[in-house]
Amino acid sequence: MRIVGVVVVAMALVIGVVPQFTHCKAVSASSGSTMSMGSSTTMSDSSTATGGATTMGAGTAATQPTPMRCYWTARAAIGVALPLAAAGVLLFFSRRKETCRALAILVCVLGVVTVLLPTVLIGTCQPSSTVCNTTMRPILLATGGLTILIGLITLVRNELTAEEHTAAMQAAS
Partner 1 sequence: MRLRSLIALALHNLADNELRSWLLGLCAFAIAAFAVTTVLVVHGAQESLHLAADRLGADVVVVPRGAATQVDGALLMGTVSKTWLPSSDVARIAAVPGVAVASPQVYLESLSHASCCAVSRMFIVAYDPRTDFTVGPWLHQSLGGALGLEQAVGGCRVTVPVNHNIMLYGYTMWLRGKLEPTGTNLDQTLFVTLPTAYAMAHSSRTTAVRPLVIPRDSVSSVMVKVRPGQAPARIARSIADAVPGVTAIVSPQMFAAYRSQISGLLRILLLVLGLLLVLAAAVTAALFAMAANERRRELGVLRALGASCGAVLVALLGEALTLALVGGLAGALVAAVGVGLFHTLLISALGFPFLFPAFGRLAGEVVLGLALALVVVGAAAALPALRVSRQEPADAMRQ
Is residue 3 at the binding interface for partner 1, with CB under 8 A as the rule? Answer: no
Is residue 61 at the binding interface for partner 1, with CB under 8 A as the rule? Answer: yes
Determine which residue in the list 55, 99, 119, 135 makes contact with partner 1, applying CB under 8 A: 135
Give backbone dihedrals phi and psi of 16, rounded to 5 degrees, phi first: -80, -35
Question: Closest approach of Cβ 48 to partner 1, in Å?
Answer: 5
Question: Closest approach of Cβ 93 to partner 1, in Å?
Answer: 24
Determine which residue in the list 30, 31, 47, 173 makes contact with partner 1, applying CB under 8 A: 47
Cβ contacts of residue 3 below 8 Å, gap of 6+? none
Phi-psi group of 123: left, alpha or beta (phi > 0 → left; psi -120 to 50 → alpha; rest → beta): left
| Amino acid at site 22 | T
Determine which residue in the list 79, 98, 134, 165 makes contact with partner 1, applying CB under 8 A: 134
Question: Closest approach of Cβ 89 to partner 1, in Å?
Answer: 26
* Alpha-carbon torsion angle 154, 160, 163, 169, nearest 10: -90
Task: Please state, in angstroms and rounded to a whole number, the distance separating the CA atoms of residues 113 and 144.
Answer: 8
Is residue 51 at the binding interface for partner 1, with CB under 8 A as the rule? Answer: yes
Give backbone dihedrals phi and psi of 67, rounded to 5 degrees, phi first: -55, 140
* Distances, alpha carbon 163 to alpha carbons 8, 62, 79, 97, 134, in Å: 24, 66, 35, 10, 44
**Candidate ranges 11-19, 73-81, 98-106, 127-135; the one touching partner 1 (CB under 8 A):** 127-135
Is residue 50 at the binding interface for partner 1, with CB under 8 A as the rule? Answer: yes
Around 1, how many Cα atoms within 13 Å sit in the side-chain half-sphere? 23
Question: What character string, x for contact with partner 1 (CB under 8 A) and - otherwise, covers 15-44?
Answer: ------------------x-xxx---x-x-
Is residue 122 at the binding interface for partner 1, with CB under 8 A as the rule? Answer: no
Question: Which residues of this chain interact with partner 1, rule CB under 8 A?
Answer: 33, 35-37, 41, 43, 45, 47-51, 61-63, 126-129, 133-135, 138, 141-142, 145
